[in-house]
A and B are shown apart, each in its own frame.
Chain A
Amino acid sequence: MAAGVAAWLPFARAAAIGWMPVASTPMPIPPQDKRKAQDGLIILNVSGTKFQTWRTTLERYPDTLLGSTERDFFFHEETSEYFFDRDPDIFRHILNFYRTGKLHYPRQECISAYDEELAFFGIIPEIIGDCCYEEYKDRRRENAERLQDDEEMDMNNDVAPVNLTFREYLWRAFENPHTSTLALVFYYVTGFFIAISVMANVVETVPCGTLPNRSKEVSCGDRYALAFFCLDTACVMIFTVEYLLRLIAAPSRCKFMKSVMSVIDVVAIMPYYIGLVMTDNDQVSGAFVTLRVFRVFRIFKFSRHSAGLRILGYTLKSCASELGFLLFSLTMAIIIFATVMFYAEKGSTATKFTSIPAAFWYTIVTMTTLGYGDMVPKTIVGKVFGSICSLSGVLVIALPVPVIVSNFSRIYHQSQRAEKRRAQRKTRLARIRAAKIRGTNAYMRYKQNGLLIDALEEVTAPRQALVGKSASPPFESQHHHLLHCLEKTTVRINHEFVDEQTFQANCMEISVVNKSGSRTSSLSSSPHGLSSCCSRRHRKKSSFSLPSTNNQELSTIQIRERPVSNSRSSLNAKLDETVPLKCDEAYISPSMVRLSAPVATSSDDASTATTTYSQSNIVRVSAL
């Protein structure tokens, strides 16, 4: 029920008095309106822009934020108004919805911003009015496509190469030739052979001079029959091999066999095989000649190599209805005009318009403004109608063409956008990684400053200079404190956050001393083995004086302090000693970093001490 009509409910109820005299049974008791809703003005302050409306206006939709008691959470006592820290421009439309009952979508707003605002205020987008609904749905669809594209790209490119089976690897090589050099080579080779095959087909038919004992001109195909046959065989070999490989590699064979490209492939190579089978049979040689026509389909195989061709094909497919309309209207017009021309020219002598189907040819040629001139009307009436025919032909053909063109343009731009996004993706990922590293660096700095304070408290009183140096905003300092608490929580021995680069490097490299990577933070992986190692070392160290804030120095200090060098045996011994600790470990810190293989195995089998993994333990500093 529309909001405005709710205001007429008192009228409807009053009019019910008209039923009373004819009522046969007594009436029910009306509901007690205890809460006499005082109809006051509500002030809604949205980021400084003040909106005012009646309370009853908002309460028309009690299942939204503004209409229910949920708005009380936003009440600001000092100014006795409701404050929302949201976009005032979009809020205008939301408030209009309460007032008029119709939700409009402003064309200049971003669709995701609008959706977010709607979600915040608890309004479902499906009630957008008819005037704006088309636009809204279009924008939403575009946005969804864009997100889907991104996801697909992520999925495509994130699959780690090692996990693919040979079949999947093959399929991926076929679909994205840029993934490996071999695929690229194959791609170009097939392209080359397609071109060769098509050119051979063409050159075959060119007249190549006369044979000595014949007077007629002979085509090149007949003159150099063997050469052409060998070339054809080679091409078909390549195509067959390619097709079979694709068939093997396809994840879904049925789907592959039904796809357009596969059909084109088959049609391109079939004539050759059929020709092999029935070379000497004269009866079907006529049919065989016809089959050779299908060899021209090899040119369509180029669509795998050309994105533009694919776009064209896709456009035609998506404009099927417009094309159908064009065809239909043309047919109608052809029939009409052919009939008219036939009857107009019937009287004239020696006319070429012998029948209506014969007149079809004239109509088509005239409507498409070709005008061969092989059939020409001679009577005046015929000429008049002929001119009308040619004028209308231009119109009929020109009408659907812009639709097809705009479709093509839209699809083309979409593919352009996809390309651009792919290029931007690398920069985007790099930016994300840089932000992560910055965050971990900041955290390490925070920790050092914290350690400084702890150590210095014992020594001297205020050394706030150092503290004041790290003037991080309260949010950051609280976040770092949180991470620190997490470190302290993962008991016994503090797991420490290590930079993922360092972590991976440690897993790879053996020489720790040379490692000068800065210790930055990232969550360490779970392991009990790790904790045990750290605990060992922790007990060894009595006190740790904290002199430097330099990351590098810390790590080197640690290494220097280590009594035993990085020998396997000692590490093994350590791990063995502390294996019992493993069981006590209650917490497993969540690992955000991709675990490299050795890490996973070490936790299971500590005694076998995967060396690289153990190495990483050593570098880690348990500072406190």
Chain B
Amino acid sequence: MIAVLVVVVVFVKVLEQFGLLEAGYDDSVEDELELSAVRHRPEGLEQLEAQTRFSRKELQILYRGFKNECPSGVVNEETFKDIYAQFFPQGDASTYAHFLFNAFDTDHNGSVSFEDFVMGLSILLRGTVQEKLIWAFNLYDINKDGYITKEEMLDIMKAIYDMMGKCTYPVLKEETPRQHVEVFFQKMDKNKDGVVTIDEFIDCCQNDENIMRSMHLFENVL
């Protein structure tokens, strides 16, 4: 009896192998179709020119680089992390890249299209100081509720320190990010309520010479 069962089972498996019994084949085919259908074409050059502060030539150069790395026209988080990690080989840039991705992905659909990319860059490279500070605030405000809490700041700080990696001098200690966050909050949190609002943030930064100067650092990058 057992032998008969065994034989039947083997027979069924063999038939499956030969595709005569299609058990659940359809799903995988559909998956494949879906992946290839994801393709994004950006808006026209004129529209982008109007919406951003880049010239035609600059947009062309940007798009060529973008399309080279992401032929499908959109960057998903994995690719984004890969690309960003290539610039920081010693440490782990994935956490910070995650925050950056959320900052660029303004419509929160899980992928950064060329428009998002270029808008973000436009603010960062050609925007006013105010706009840049607002962008930075958005980056720190992980849950986008308008307040930067200590936990959020700690996450960001840890992510930044992670990028440095282990081989630093002096050696990074566990509490360094925490101390850094304390310093930050002392500076920024005027009413000492434990959170930093956007106005406190902008005010404080505008009064700090170093920060002001550093905002103009990357203006001629492109």
Contact = CB atoms under 8 A, between A and B. Distances in A.
Interface of A: 1-2, 4-5, 7-27, 30, 33, 39, 380-381, 384-385
B133 interface: yes
A385 to B, nearest CB: 8
Nearest to A12: B87
Given A20-B214, A22-B180, A24-B183, A4 B65 contact: yes
A135 B43 CA distance: 43
A98 to B, nearest CB: 12
A22 B3 contact: no
B35 interface: no
Given A13-B221, A14-B221, A21-B205, A7 B183 contact: no
B136 A7 contact: no
A14 B83 contact: no
Tell me if A's interface is mostly helix, strand, loop or mixed.
helix
Contact of B215 (A1, A20, A25, A385): A20
A22 B157 contact: yes
A5 B61 CA distance: 13
B218 A16 contact: yes
A52 B214 CA distance: 40
Contacts of B211: 20-21, 23
B86 interface: yes
B117 interface: yes
Contacts of A23: 210-211, 214
A14 B216 CA distance: 11
A33 B219 CA distance: 12
A531 B82 CA distance: 76
Contacts of B83: 5, 8
B136 A21 contact: yes
B121 A11 contact: yes
B124 A17 contact: yes
Interface of B: 3, 7, 57, 61-62, 64-66, 68-69, 83-84, 86-87, 100, 103, 117, 120-121, 124-125, 132-133, 135-136, 139-140, 153, 156-157, 160, 180, 183-184, 201, 205, 210-211, 213-215, 217-218, 220-222
Tell me if B's interface is mostly helix, strand, loop or mixed.
helix
A8 B69 contact: yes
A275 to B, nearest CB: 58
A33 B87 contact: no
Contacts of A5: 69, 83, 86-87
A15 B124 contact: yes
A156 B101 CA distance: 68
B221 A27 contact: no
B136 to A, nearest CB: 5
Nearest to A14: B124
B87 to A, nearest CB: 5
Given A14-B120, A20-B215, A30-B217, 20 more contacts: A1-B86, A5-B83, A5-B87, A9-B87, A10-B62, A10-B125, A14-B125, A17-B124, A17-B135, A17-B215, A18-B103, A21-B133, A21-B205, A22-B156, A22-B160, A26-B210, A27-B210, A27-B214, A33-B220, A384-B3
A19 B214 CA distance: 10
Contacts of A17: 124, 132, 135-136, 215, 217-218
A312 B13 CA distance: 41
Contact of A7 (B69, B103, B120, B139): B69
B69 A4 contact: yes
B68 A7 contact: yes
Contacts of B120: 14
Contacts of B57: 39
A24 B139 CA distance: 18
Contacts of A24: 180, 183
Contacts of B133: 21
Contacts of B135: 17-18
Which residue, of B57, B184, B210, has the highest number of chain A Cβ atoms within 10 A? B210
A4 B68 contact: yes
Which residue, of A11, A20, A27, A381, has the highest number of chain B Cβ atoms within 10 A? A11
A27 B217 contact: yes
Contacts of B222: 10
A30 B184 contact: no
27 contacts: A7-B64, A7-B65, A7-B66, A8-B65, A10-B121, A11-B121, A13-B218, A13-B221, A14-B218, A14-B221, A15-B100, A17-B132, A17-B135, A18-B103, A20-B211, A20-B214, A21-B136, A21-B140, A21-B184, A21-B201, A21-B205, A22-B153, A23-B211, A24-B180, A27-B210, A27-B217, A39-B61
Contacts of B220: 30, 33
Contacts of B217: 16-17, 20, 27, 30
A51 to B, nearest CB: 17
B60 to A, nearest CB: 9
Contacts of B69: 4-5, 7-8
In order of increasing CB-CB distance, the 10 nearest A-B pairs are: A7-B65, A14-B124, A20-B214, A4-B68, A27-B214, A18-B139, A4-B69, A10-B221, A12-B87, A26-B210
Nearest to A99: B68
Contacts of A25: 210
Which residue, of B120, B125, B217, has the highest number of chain A Cβ atoms within 10 A? B217
A24 B184 CA distance: 9
A5 B213 CA distance: 28
Nearest to A1: B86
Nearest to A5: B86
A1 B3 CA distance: 60
Nearest to B125: A14
Contacts of B66: 7-8
B122 to A, nearest CB: 9
B69 to A, nearest CB: 5
A7 B84 CA distance: 12
A61 B25 CA distance: 46
A13 B221 CA distance: 8
Given A8-B83, A17-B135, A30 B65 contact: no
Nearest to B69: A4
Contact of B117 (A11, A16, A26): A11
A39 B217 CA distance: 23
B221 to A, nearest CB: 5
A25 to B, nearest CB: 8
B184 to A, nearest CB: 6
Nearest to A380: B3
A385 B7 CA distance: 10
A25 B64 CA distance: 36
A14 B136 CA distance: 11
Contacts of A4: 65, 68-69
A20 B214 CA distance: 6
